[in-house]
Chains A and B, each alone.
Chain A
Amino acid sequence: MWKGIAESLQIAVLASALGIALALPFGLLGARNLMPPWVSWPARLVVVSARSFHPVVVAIVFVKAVGFGALAGILALTVASIGFIGKLFTEAIEEISANQVEAVRATGAPFASILAFGVLPQVFSRFIGFATYQLDSNLRNSTMVGIVGAGGIGGTLFAAFQRFDYDFVSAILISIIALIMAGEVLAAAVRRIFIENATLGQLFRPGTPASHERHLEDD
């Protein structure tokens, strides 16, 4: 069982890293306020089609393509991450204020600098939010793609269900829930460090209100 859980973790980490890395260019290309329509529409189409299938369905196709095992799960969750992060990233970029972009452009900066100094700082904190959320969601789904043979604890879980081995099922379920809760705590810590500029010491000190995020949204 521990092997299955470790494999689920590996799938979640690798799929998030790969998926987020791939989602950034697609999300950027899909933003209609930065890109001409002939670029943004194909990028949006890629993102929409990546999002339209449940990861488990995508995993079925990848199990056929690359065989049983963790790789199919990683690829399936990568596709899911591209769909989700790509969409949210596009929306975040479309909501930025044009003033800062124009200011950078007015200095004669090339396009890459406009992106790096005018666009990305405005969406960075929201991006951290999406990324931690996606890691969380990949962790949940990585425990499930095993049902169709794509690696992780899901296969063990499904087999135990079919054997009516319910005490083992509840052991697996409790482990999964503990894993997901640990993931949530970790994601919250990352959000506090990057969005609220918390230090490591402050993370362990309770009582500081999390009102900062709301304040950010009001701006």
Chain B
Amino acid sequence: MASIAPPLPSRLAWQRFTAAQRLARFAVYVVLVAAIAASLRSVEIIPEFLYDAPEQMVDLFSRMWPVAWAHYPKGVHAALLETIHIASLGTLLALMLAVPVGILAAHRLVPSTTVNWLARLVLVASRSVNSLVWALIFVGIFGPGPLAGALAIAFRSVGFVGKLVGEALDEAQPGPIEALRATGAPWLSVLGFGYWPQVKPAFWSIALFRWDINVRESAVLGLVGAGGIGMALDAALNLFQWDRVALILAAMFAVVIAAEIVVTQVRKRVL
């Protein structure tokens, strides 16, 4: 340790990335900073509203307290159950719709690029439209109520589930599938005995994950009239009954936590 080696000339020094790679990374940083700066400069924030934010928060919490627990059996319980029903039925319907589309999107199962692209287009379209927008559309078609909500949840989830199922199918090990093909098994048997056992854990885990998300999403669909606890929330908000709003928020929180516990337990026991 008597002498420390002098620094290498930069030409010889090891560099992790090539100049072009560093340029690409630098470009991302520049775009990022530019986007943040541009947004900060042009975003419209009304300072008068900001100054009295603390007062408004205090006002909000004082109106929310005491929470109107007494209102629960009459006004919230049924809506809460309806929310869970919307989420569960929507997820079930989404699974039924997503599996065929996911199969069509998987290139190894359906070796036609046109069909793959069409299926992928369906999935992307489903995912690009927010569940609230789907709800607005279905409320327009079927009128307000849980049917619109369940369909909105289903149509929003098809894209998510279908994409993940398609990816899982594409990632399946080719060994068992080739073995089945070699026996002359028909397409359905290849699907049922070659692919299904391989994607089964992924499929159930995707389904559980989506159900968990849907419980959260179905809670707000009522804001646009698509049934569930969101309608109770909307009514309480419009009447400035903040103590009922607090009750509904507490109920939503409890349901979301309960759903999460259910999902982790099921995952631990079954998968």
Q: Is the CB of A199 within 8 A of B24?
A: yes
CA of A158 to CA of B132, assembled, Å:
10
In the complex, whether A120 has a CB less than 8 A from a CB of chain B is: no
Q: Is the CB of B39 within 8 A of A9?
A: yes
CA of A203 to CA of B23, assembled, Å:
13
Partner pick for A61 among B23, B25, B60, CB 8 A cutoff = B60
CA of A56 to CA of B49, assembled, Å:
20
A65-B60 in contact given A6-B42, A10-B42, A70-B43 (Cβ < 8 Å): yes
- Which residues of A are interface residues toward B (Cβ below 8 A)? 6-7, 9-11, 13-14, 17, 48-49, 52-54, 56-57, 60-61, 64-71, 74, 140-141, 143-144, 147-148, 151, 157-158, 161, 166, 173, 176-177, 180-181, 190, 193-194, 197-201, 203, 214
Q: Is the CB of B130 within 8 A of A144?
A: yes
Q: Which A residues touch B20, using CB under 8 A?
A: 199-201
- B contacts with A: majority SS: helix
Nearest A residue to B133 via CB reads A173
A141-B130 in contact given A54-B219, A65-B53, A200-B24 (Cβ < 8 Å): yes
Q: Which B residues touch A151, using CB under 8 A?
A: 44
Q: Which A residues touch B24, using CB under 8 A?
A: 193, 198-200, 203
CA of A68 to CA of B17, assembled, Å:
46
Nearest A residue to B253 via CB reads A52
Nearest B residue to A183 via CB reads B128
Q: Which A residues touch B95, using CB under 8 A?
A: none
CA of A161 to CA of B260, assembled, Å:
34
| B29 → chain A closest CB, angstroms | 10
A-B contact pairs, 6 of them (CB 8 A): A6-B42, A14-B40, A56-B220, A67-B53, A147-B132, A199-B20
Q: Which A residues touch B183, using CB under 8 A?
A: none
Nearest B residue to A52 via CB reads B256
Partner pick for A65 among B28, B57, B219, B249, CB 8 A cutoff = B57
